[in-house]
Structure 1
């Protein structure tokens, strides 16, 4: 049987290939742990809307709804911190398998790829193969971080965005973008429309970890931070509509927002 040909995104699409960064907590009910079927179904439906635009979508998800490696930091824990980070990477695999089934349940073609060898449930991450899946219109779920401890899934998202030549990192959060302070505790916190990488670093804004921001800055990879809880925001983000906070090089700002 002949191989499916690549599917080219529409030429007028603002972002033709994206990395969607989901936290592990996005798969759980607010304030709870574990995986919520209702939350996954809501996210899957939004991802389907985005996929139907023709955008090529790769997803990097966290594992904090199950376990965070950092919770074992310190000399008093019986679990070594490096071991805990590997446990956290396996948590991202669990989330990826759950998300895969939620997406396929509504008819979306997917592949789960892992930086850790778990070949009974996921393909090994190979850059060219991941790009080929994207070109065929499949949603690629990238799990296992980068396969090494002491590296966050934010940094993994930045790394994978560079490897698969994504146009932008879409960081899905529960708030409307990047604020000057925590909007849940400070009603006077200011929502930023645009920021430079240097702004994020100098203001110590909690967007992504410093390694991820530095990597994006070095390679001029823009980041869009937005509220995925607002219905339709994921498809707005892939279309490049004005939603959330855009972070990038000042020279690119005028051409990166509609």
Structure 2
């Protein structure tokens, strides 16, 4: 398989925590950016969506009993915080990121406008999409699937702590085997939790392949965008 030219990388907020209980671990984010820089400097057009679970976890106790829409808006703000942190780390690594938010915070980041995002990608800049979809009740997985479709990404990369999709939980079952490739239909039939149902359905409808891999495995991101046998390929 030849390499990809334009991809969308979905990161969980928890990926930024390192060994911390919540928040952002600077060493972890800097190590992650090293792999991102390698990909961007190779000429791949890279867009990203990051969750907010690591930030929201710190205030989760106070959110108990809160209206769902209000809690989701708080989560969107958490994704903006993570996007700013990631963008800052990328800038320090010599990259030229642009953070665009689905919710208007013009004094902090520019608002998401699709033609502008496409222009940035064509110019070789990386784009970090913050604020989810801008609507409550939708996850950042769904935001990632939506943005991937909007920018014409060739693949959606789902970065996790595990290096792919397994027949069982590899942490609990040492005999579990990694799928190199699996179809959307088989993933649904086997009830494999690739991502939330709305995001998964959108990717399937748009014939958007998903590659699940470990962001903590050095060099894995580059191997994925080069089309090598890394992680699990979910195809239509």
Q: Same fold (TM over 0.5)?
A: yes
Aligned to 1:81: 68
- Using the alignment, how far apart are the partners of 1:110 and 1:124 within structure 2? 14
**Rounded Cα–Cα distance in structure 2 between residues aligned with 1:32 and 1:197:** 34
CA contact (8 A) 1:201 1:210 kept: no
8 Å Cα contact 1:22/1:171 also seen in 2: yes
Q: Which residue of 2 aligns with 1:93?
A: 80
Question: 2:46 aligns to what?
Answer: 57
Higher helix share: 2
Q: Is 1:181 aligned to residue 168 of structure 2?
A: yes
Structure 1: gaps of 5 or more residues: 1-11, 250-258
Matched, 1:159 2:146: yes
Q: Give the match for residue 25 of structure 1.
A: 14
**Residue in 2 that maps onto 1:40:** 29
Write the mapping of 1:171-210 to structure 2, written as runs, cut at 5 A.
171-210=158-197
**Corresponding residue of 1:234:** 221
Q: 1:64 Cα shift?
A: 0.8
* 1:53-74 Cα deviation digits (max 9, x unpaired): 1000000000111116xx68xx
Cα deviation 1:6-47 (Å, max 9, x = unaligned): xxxxxx962110000100011111462110000010011100
Query: How many Å apart are 1:90 and its aligned residue?
Result: 0.6
State which structure, 1 or 2, has the greater radius of gyration over its C-alpha atoms: 1
1:118 has 2:93 as partner: no
Q: Deviations over 1:99-151 (max 9, x none)?
A: 01000001100100000111111111111110000000001000100000110
1:127 to 114, 134, 137: 114
Secondary structure at the counterpart of residue 66 of structure 1:
helix
Residue aligning to 1:107? 94
Structure number with the bigger relative contact order (C-alpha 8 A, sep ≥ 6) is 2
- C-alpha RMSD of the superposition: 1.6
The structural deviation recorded for 1:77 is: 3.9
1:67-78 matches, within 5 Å, as 67=56, 77-78=64-65
Deviation at 1:240, TM superposition (A): 1.2
What is the aligned length? 233
Pick one of 206, 209, 217 that aligns with 1:219.
206
In the aligned structure 2, how far is the partner of 1:189 from the partner of 1:31? Answer: 28
**Long gaps (5+) in structure 2:** none
